[in-house]
Copies of this chain bind each other. A is one copy, B any other.
């Protein structure tokens, strides 16, 4: 195995201080991603990307997870072959109190 074999599984996450409101809003502004976030909100201990039923292919799913991760909305950790995603509730509630709750409580 090459030394760089584990690079792929290491995802970059923004620090709390690096999270920007426009990026968060834009990330939440897509129907597919909002569906993902709503599903993650119900699973307090995280959820595998593939566990959310979505009308898109796997590669598109990965793309949306990346947007959410890079915006600072979710964290991802490897667990076997799964990537468990979790909502960054604490960080978002600290930076933008009420934002996440308002979005999650919104009628859909």
Contacts and interface: CB of A to CB of B under 8 A. Distances in A.
B103 A101 contact: no
A98 B103 CA distance: 9
Q: How many copies does the complex hold?
A: 2
A3 interface: no
A96 B29 CA distance: 14
Contact of A25 (B28, B96, B98): B28
A54 interface: no
Interface in A18-64: 21-23, 25-31, 34
Contact of A101 (B29, B95, B98, B108): B98
A102 interface: yes
A103 B21 CA distance: 7
